[in-house]
Amino acid sequence: MCEYEGPRFTKEVADERYKDRFVTYLFSCGDDGMVIDGFGTAMFINHSCDPNCETEDHGGRVYIVAVRDIAAGEELTYEYNLCDSDDAEADCYCGAATCRGTMFSEAELKRRARVAKRLERKAKRS
């Protein structure tokens, strides 16, 4: 088990602080609008659609927890379930048989489909 540690601030502060940075290690924790600016081992754990770990929230602290036995030397992974509101792509190339092709969460994919439809309708009208 490994905690996702780092300073915490609001999404607005994070957006401002990292607007010019391509790579960030922000972990958004729930609906309170706060993010953790990853600083530690957990920030290096990669995404997989067939992960061997998952994240657990315990009173606002985020832990990466194994969901099955992990062999020595096996890479730790968990599902990112990204929900960024910006337009950045997050294609997945994890290679798992069950790969979804994206690191976005189901909810985020639905939201993006809605936005795309709205833009399509708007484009047709004009």
Judged by CB under 5 A, the residue of 62, 64, 92, 104 near Zn ion is 92
| Contact letters for Zn ion, residues 27-66 (x by CB under 5 A) | ----------------------x-----------------
**Least distance CB 5 / Zn ion (angstroms):** 26
Largest CA distance in the chain: 59
Residue 83 exposure: Cα atoms within 13 Å on the Cβ side: 15
Beta carbons within 8 Å of 52's beta carbon, 6+ residues apart: 66, 67, 68, 70, 74, 76, 77, 78
Q: Which is nearer to Zn ion, 15 or 52 (CB)?
A: 52
Smallest gap from residue 98 Cβ to Zn ion (A): 8
Q: Is the dihedral of CA 108, 109, 111, 112 positive or negative?
A: positive
Q: Tell which one of 2, 82, 94, 109 touches Zn ion (CB under 5 A).
A: 94
Q: Between residues 26 and 49, which has the closer beta carbon with respect to Zn ion?
A: 49
Dihedral (CA of 24, 103, 40, 60) sign: positive
One residue of 83, 99, 113, 115 binding Zn ion per CB under 5 A: 99
- The binding site for Zn ion (CB under 5 A) comprises 49, 92, 94, 99
